[in-house]
Structure 1
Amino acid sequence: MIGTMLKTSQYEFVKGLVFLGLLLLICSTNRLTAQHRPVKFEHLSSSDGLSQNKVFDITQDHQGFIWIATEDGLNRYDGFNFKIFKNIPGNSSSLFYNGINCVYVSKDGLLWTGGQNGGLGRFDAQSETFVNFLHDAQNPGAIAENFVVSISEDERGNLWIATKNNGFNYFKRGTRQFIHSREGMRAIVKFSLFFINIHLMSLLRHPRG
């Protein structure tokens, strides 16, 4: 009985070593392959169709388009050509302001923009128009100011909007209301810890990335 148990344990141990060896071999092969792949960069500028050479942010949407925020317009790049979105005077469905600080794609695939003086923008891919959420001093549920510097998202799909002078705004998408935080550095610490916690929870739930 004991002999059989020892043989079984030895077999399991050897099988584990073989599996570990194969795993290390695969990882080493992938690393060597990656090291020998040449990395090439292509530099794009206004001469290639970019609206402006001062770029503040870049992201990629779920369809593979590259979105580039510049000081003079939002650019969509398909790998060959640029399509530029700018403010159209008199058209409330266009960008409110051409200076774009940040672009963000939420989990549901929507593209959001943060403007230098344009508040928060939401892009409608079907109509290629924008819904602009702007500061309104008479509306306590509006965004605190129109200068947006960063956009992030929590697990519930609500957005955290960092503004230049008025702290963070929590945008509850279900109610389209903004909750303001003007606690300065304390709010920044809370914001940072909040997203560190979200990231750690995501890693624990999805350890393979």
Structure 2
Amino acid sequence: MIPNYIRVFINYVLLISCFSVQSQKQVTFRPLSVKDGLSQNSAISITQDRTGFLWIATQDGLNKYDGRSFEKYKQYFKDITNPTYSKLGKVFVDSNDELWIIPISQIPHKLNKDNNSFEPLNGIEDASTIFEDQQKNIWFGSYSNGLYKLSFQTKKIEHIIDRVK
């Protein structure tokens, strides 16, 4: 039989360890700026890939941040915000860890990881937003041309809805 004082001690240790597990390290944030190598202080769109890289779109370029330094890409983004509408560039990572951007040309581009360059997705113009559904299809919304779907199965683009007038 275990004496009561040992039981109390074991319960105390278990209780303290539970509290320490719940109170993990405090997360801290540090602002990034041009002083750190960011191409511009104003970010338009931000995403993070599975590797942990931050992708930051600015009017002065696309920035890839590895936690220490920036790599800059010559992809530029719109930042037009009005009371009735906005046209903002986008960076997006899909569930397959593919990086998509909608730069100033408003033609979607996908990062080719083999040569570290962006390739345009021909057939879609004036794109303004990007979304992935549960079937891994990629959807592109357009101000002037409606809605497009890039099929995950066939890899073909389908024009779903024309612009509503």
Normalising by structure 2, we get a TM-score of: 0.71
Q: Mapping of 1:4-153 within 5 angstroms?
A: 29=19, 33=23, 37-86=25-74, 95=75, 98-99=76-77, 101-134=89-122, 142-143=123-124, 145-146=125-126, 148-153=127-132
Contact 2:55–2:91 (CA under 8 A) maintained in structure 1: yes
1:156 equivalenced with 2:135 (yes/no): yes
Mean alpha-carbon deviation: is it higher for 75-84 or for 41-50? 41-50
1:29-79 CA distance string (max 9 Å, x none): 479615xx5442211111211112221111111211111111121110000
Partner of residue 15, structure 1: none
Shift of 1:184: 4.2
Q: Structure 1: any 5+ residue segments left out of the alignment?
A: 1-24, 87-94, 135-141, 186-209
Contact 1:57–1:70 (CA under 8 A) maintained in structure 2: yes
CA–CA distance in 2 between the matches of 1:103 and 1:72? 14
Q: Structure 2: any 5+ residue segments left out of the alignment?
A: 1-14, 79-88
Contact 1:162–1:168 (CA under 8 A) maintained in structure 2: yes
Mean alpha-carbon deviation: is it higher for 111-120 or for 72-81? 111-120
Count how many residue pairs are aligned between Structure 1 and Structure 2. 138
CA–CA distance in 1 between the matches of 2:91 and 2:158? 19
**Aligned partner letter, 2:23:** T
RMSD of aligned residue pairs (Cα, Å): 2.6
Cα distance 1:31–1:113, how it changes in 2: closer, same or farther (>3 A)?
Answer: same
Normalising by structure 1, we get a TM-score of: 0.57
CA–CA distance in 2 between the matches of 1:162 and 1:70? 21
Contact 1:116–1:149 (CA under 8 A) maintained in structure 2: no
Identity %: 32
More helix per residue: 1
Shift of 1:175: 3.8
CA–CA distance in 1 between the matches of 2:50 and 2:121? 23
1:132-163 CA distance string (max 9 Å, x none): 024xxxxxxx21x23x3321112222101122
CA–CA distance in 2 between the matches of 1:177 and 1:74? 25
**Aligned partner letter, 1:78:** D
**Aligned partner letter, 1:79:** G
